[in-house]
Amino acid sequence: MRILSTFSMLAVIALAGALSAAAASAQTTTPKPGDIVWTPVPGPGKKCALNDDYYFKYEFNEKPKMGMSILKIQVFDKKNNQVVPFKITGRSDMLSMRGAHDSGDVEFKLNRKNDYLLPVNVVMPGDWEIRVIVLLNDQAVFHGSIRFDV
């Protein structure tokens, strides 16, 4: 009986060590070549560089809540002129339930004011993310992550 409990204790210690090592390696993995690195985007209304020549700002039509919200992105050149040389796609999903509420890739639409617009359907409270890809001449120049809580 005593040998069995000692063996059980050693098994638990070994399992805990293995799980701890796995968690540590998962947190310290560096991106491999070809992996997409999603740049955290600063808060609404703040400048975010796309490259050396352009930057963008974003905002929602209202504070995101349950239901439909509209994400608006405005792109500017070095001289602060609003420009539209890009194709922008977005993909919204819930962080804690990745894939369960995934919108799929949706292209932003341009309005008359040359704002890029994306409808975002928030179906339940929690932490949400919109992954934004900005393309110039069909080449991705920026991968960004906009996070918000409802």
- Name which residue leads in pLDDT, 69 or 15: 69
Strand-pair category, 139-149 with 39-40: parallel
CA dihedral 101, 106, 112, 114 (to 10 degrees): 100
Task: Please determine, for residue 4, whether its predicted confidence score (pLDDT) is greater than 60.
Answer: no
Per-residue pLDDT of 86-98, as tens digits, reads 999 999 999 998 8
CA atoms within 13 A on the CB side of 72: 12
pLDDT band at 29 (very low <50, low <70, confident <90, very high): low
- Is the distance from CB of 74 to CB of 57 less than 8 angstroms? yes
Q: What is the dihedral of CA 147, 82, 117, 99, to 10 degrees?
A: -40
CA 34 to chain centroid, in Å, comes to: 17
pLDDT one-digit tens code per residue, 128-143: 999 999 999 999 999 9
75 or 11: whose pLDDT is higher?
75
Q: Is the pLDDT of residue 6 over 70?
A: no
Q: In this predicted model, which residue has the larger pLDDT, 32 or 106?
A: 106
- pLDDT above 70 covers a percentage of the chain that reads 78
